[in-house]
Amino acid sequence: DAGVIQSPRHEVTEMGQEVTLRCKPISGHDYLFWYRQTMMRGLELLIYFNNNVPIDDSGMPEDRFSAKMPNASFSTLKIQPSEPRDSAVYFCASSFTLTSGEQYFGPGTRLTVT
């Protein structure tokens, strides 16, 4: 398996622009997670899905952030409009179950908003 795939790997955009991050989870994994990593706040869970349904989005910082999972093999995280404080590395992770606890992370998207 190719593992969790994320695109783009790097994104530089100007404040106010829309940004879309993409994720393909490992085939057969029922859970998908979006995380944000910054020096100041560490690794934060933004939202997670089970069988394509959002279960907990309490970590989404504000309404500018939205996430969708239209099918089992694809998810997007969208920021509209983007702000400089959104600059971070965004990780997607997937897991087969929740009870085992292990998550498999993608390589991340480094977002820079100028």
In order of 9, 66, 79, 91, the CA distances from 109 in angstroms are: 4, 16, 13, 7
Residue 96 sits in the site that holds another protein (CB under 8 A): no
Is residue 43 near another protein by the rule CB under 8 A? yes
* The only residue of 42, 53, 63, 71 in contact with another protein, by rule CB under 8 A: 42
By the rule CB under 8 A, 104 interacts with another protein: yes
Alpha helices in 11-82 (DSSP H): none
Segment contacting another protein by CB under 8 A, of 14-22, 63-71, 74-82, 92-100: 92-100
CB 25 to another protein: min, Å: 12
List Cβ neighbours of 74 (8 Å cut-off, separation of 6 or more): 22, 23, 24
Q: Rank residues 15 and 55 by Cβ distance to another protein and give the closer one.
A: 55
| Residue 99 touches another protein, criterion: CB under 8 A | yes
Report how far residue 4's alpha carbon sits from residue 25's, in angstroms, rounded to the nearest whole number. 5
Give the C-alpha separation, 35 to 44, whole Å.
5
Residues that bind another protein (CB under 8 A): 4, 42-43, 45, 48, 56, 91, 93, 98-108
